[in-house]
Amino acid sequence: MPTTDTAATGWRAARRIAAGAATALPAEDVPLDRAVGRVLAAAVPARTDLPGSDTAAMDGYAVAGAGPWQVIGRILAGGPVWTRELRPGQAVEIMTGAVVPAGTVAVLPYETADLSGTTAAGKPHIRRAGEDARAGSELVGAGRLVTPAVAGLLAQAGADGVAVHRRPRVRLLVTGDEVVSAGIPAAGQVRDVFAPMVSALVVAAGAVLAERLVLRDDPGVLAERLAAPDADVVVVTGSSSAGAADHLHRVLEKLGAQRLVDRVACRPGGPQLLAALPGGRWVTGLPGNPFAGLVAAVTVLQPLLYALTGRPVPLAPRLPVRGDVVVTAAVTRLVPVRLAGDHAVVVPGSRPASLAGAAAADALAVLEDGWTDGSPADLIPLG
């Protein structure tokens, strides 16, 4: 049954609900070069020992036994493997990454090599076969975000493709008879700011903006686009409040949606919502005022997308925040701030309908009951 309780949800509770509302989407196999930024849906085993052979860790000389050593050849990385075992007192010039000959006790780097010496003191500078991973062992576990370094490691161990969670497909519905998509708005019109802003937020959370539409204020048209398939999440802007043109609540009730969050005790961005549609799809409602919509997007939209991609919500850094802001017990304030070394400074003059403050900021500071000028607060990066 649809939820009808409209008591405002606390800001942190709303984020927890959004992050816990969904599970990661099913897996798909992708080439390794397309996996960065995705979350592994299955553990990846090493296909070979890593490294596969004993190799030189430095440019220099591979030596056997005690010195002095006589240089009898050269080995290049990628060149023919030296097939003879080095005898005590012998050395070969060797490049980083080349397979060391049998009998090698150390690699003397060019910078410190003394072939007339009697011992190979210090680090041996040899990478032993399998010291990073053995063939068949788990190299990277399921649930790990594929970073550039992870992708490189997987390639080292022979992976060509991996199973990752599918990216959520997002449909953005910008509502309002006054909204125009391009050019300079005329009197009584406003530009669609949500297409570029929500697109960036969606991509940052690992999802795909599959469709963007500007809709007139018509509940029938809104219901049709909410019910349309091929989107995991539908983002609706400008229709989540209680005005005469705000149809989202009534449309969701007719569609049998379950409201999980319906109004949040925060400023700006209070009239926002999160709902579950039948069939395992989701709707987020963002206020039409641009800064309020941005706050709502980081409150319920991004945590939901992280859950669908399999990523945890990133931990918010915490720094002292300085500025003149009034915080009341019942409402969380989210304000734009600039980073200033070991603290953050409030950007003055931010308003729900203006993005000027957020555009000049590095993060949103989460100011809660008890915060005073200079107290620490969580920061949500805007980069």
Summarised one tens digit per residue, pLDDT across range 212-231 is: 999 988 889 999 999 998 99
Q: Report how far residue 226's alpha carbon sits from residue 236's, in angstroms, rounded to the nearest whole number.
A: 9
Is 303 found in the same domain as 193?
yes
Residue corresponding to tokens 């960036």: 200
- The half-sphere exposure of 73 on its side-chain side, counting CA atoms within 13 A, is 14
* Whether residue 242 is found in the same domain as residue 230: yes
Given a cut of 90, whether residue 244 has pLDDT beyond it is: no
Identify whether residues 192 and 206 lie together within a single domain. yes
Strands 208-215 and 169-175: parallel
Kindly state the percentage of the chain with pLDDT values over 70: 97
Give the model confidence (pLDDT) of 9-67 as tens digits: 999 999 999 999 999 999 999 999 999 999 999 999 999 998 999 999 999 999 999 98
On whether both 31 and 160 belong to a single domain, the answer is yes
pLDDT at 246: 66
- Give the burial string for 222-253 (b: 16+ CB within 10 Å, else e): bbebbeeeebbbbbbbbbbbeeebbbbbebbe
Number of domains, the chain: 4
Per-residue pLDDT tens digits for 151-175:
999 999 999 999 999 999 999 999 9
Structural domain includes residue 1: no
Smallest CA-to-CA distance from 161 within 170, 176, 149, 151 is with 151
359 burial via Cβ count (<10 Å: 0-12, 13-18, 19+): exposed
Q: Are residues 201 and 254 in the same domain?
A: yes
The burial class, CB within 10 Å (0-12 / 13-18 / 19+), for 87 is exposed
- pLDDT band at 192; cut points 50, 70, 90: confident
More confident residue, 176 or 147: 147
Domain residues for the domain of 254 are 9-25+167-309
pLDDT at 243: 54
Question: Taking CA 76 as the corner, what is the angle to CA 72 and CA 80, rounded to the nearest 5 degrees?
Answer: 85
pTM: predicted TM-score of the whole model, two decimal places: 0.86
Assess whether pLDDT exceeds 70 at residue 248.
yes
Helix (H, G, I), strand (E, B) or coil at 176: coil
- pLDDT at position 4 is 41
108 lies in the same domain as 137:
no
Q: Prior bond to 26 cis, omega within 30?
A: no
